[in-house]
Amino acid sequence: MERNSRARLIGAVAAIAIAGAVASARASEGTFALLGGAPKIVSQLSATYGAGHVATVRIRQFLGDGTTPILKYDIEMEKLIHLIVVRDDFATFAHVHPSFDPATGTFTQSLTLDPKHRYYVYADTTPHGIGQQVFRFALGAPFFVSHSSSGPSSTSVAVGPYTVSLARTTLPADRTQSLNVTVLKRGRPAPDLTTYLGAAAHAVFINTLTLEYVHVHPTLRGTPATAMGAMNMGATAQAGPLMTMEVPALPDGMYKLWIQFGGAGGAVYTAPFTLRAR
């Protein structure tokens, strides 16, 4: 019955008939998208579209048999799921945390979509006993928007009162490397940064051609980095303006990168970059 009340369902027989005709809730199967990982589960998304370009997205995941729903997830970075939603031109980025119904294993999230665009939705979870899994789905307009082959972005981006800088935005491909991340406020190392979801910062990379996904966590310079792909940081994560991140071996290509961090008062800021690996 999911979360709908019985009364609402009975009152909505006509609407169900319409929904059935539109068949908008048919589940689509996600494409495995974690760079360097391997698919161990089946991930499905269904979407219903309402007024105001609002889509209600439901995600269910299953064991490899495709029929046994996964009901138990490990909490990673304070949440059961991280849903990353990126517009097809990579101009918008959202990181949200759907609600979870443990009885059915269904994650539910409302998203407002620009009807002229397609969106890539990444479901980043850690099913208990399985490890991190990331699946990609497409929502919205069915046409493909070709991406201009623009070069890497500037190494500095202003976001709110902060300026976020990377050591470089052109990286050697196919090798792991450390990349310094610096956050300034009024020209000085920002004194008021706060942790966000249990980390100094979160960095999501998406290959603009293959749409492969990587999610790493910058740490304060001079503190030990966590293992690649491990989201468990313990309770000791600290925020600060001088960070470094361990970048995994990126195949040759262009990558969008969004760095999220907490500012004064816990406000969340997102700094977008474009990287070239070659």
Q: Is the CB of residue 251 less than 8 Å from the CB of residue 175? A: no
The residue among 118 and 202 lying less far from Cu ion, judged by its C-beta, is 202
Shortest approach of Cu ion to residue 90 CB, angstroms?
Answer: 18
| Number of residues assigned to the chain | 278
Judged by CB under 5 A, which stretch of 27-35, 47-55, 153-161, 196-204 contacts Cu ion?
196-204
Q: E-assigned strands of 50-176?
A: 54-62, 81-87, 93-96, 99-101, 106-112, 118-125, 133-140, 156-159, 162-166, 170-171
Q: How far is the CB of 122 from Cu ion (least distance, A)?
A: 12
**Is the Cβ of residue 77 or residue 85 nearer to Cu ion in the bound state?**
77
Q: How far is the CB of 24 from Cu ion (least distance, A)?
A: 31
Smallest distance from the beta carbon of 231 to Cu ion, in angstroms?
A: 6
193, 226, 99, 133: CA torsion to nearest 10: 140
User: Is residue 201 a contact partner of residue 215, using CB atoms and an 8 Å limit?
Assistant: no
Take residue 223 and report the two structure tokens written for it: 């503190």
**Contacting range for Cu ion; rule: CB under 5 A; set: 69-77, 98-106, 124-132, 169-177:** 69-77
Nearest distance in Å: CB 197, Cu ion: 6
Residues forming a β-bridge with 220: 243
Contacts of 191 (CB under 8 A, 6+ apart): 185, 241
Binding test (CB under 5 A) with Cu ion, winner from 58, 95, 118, 202: 202
Of 14-22, 49-57, 100-108, 199-207, the segment contacting Cu ion by CB under 5 A is: 199-207
What does the alpha-carbon distance between residue 18 and residue 23 come to, in Å, rounded to a whole number?
Answer: 8
Q: How far is the CB of 113 from Cu ion (least distance, A)?
A: 23
- CB-nearest residue to Cu ion: 202
Closest to Cu ion by CB, 202 vs 256, is 202
Which H or E run includes 44?
Answer: strand 42-49
Nearer to Cu ion, 29 or 78 (CB): 78
Total residues contacting Cu ion by CB under 5 A comes to 2
The candidate with the shortest Cα–Cα distance to 98, out of 127, 74, 123, is 123
Stretch that binds Cu ion, among 73-81, 86-94, 139-147, 180-188 (CB under 5 A): 73-81
Shortest approach of Cu ion to residue 107 CB, angstroms? 17
DSSP per-residue letters across 183-239: EEETTEE-S--B-BTTBS-EEEEEETTT--EEEE--EETTSPPPPTT----TT----
Candidates 76-84, 111-119, 135-143, 162-170; binding stretch for Cu ion (CB under 5 A): 76-84
- Binding of residue 79 to Cu ion (CB under 5 A): no
The footprint of Cu ion (CB under 5 A) covers 77, 202
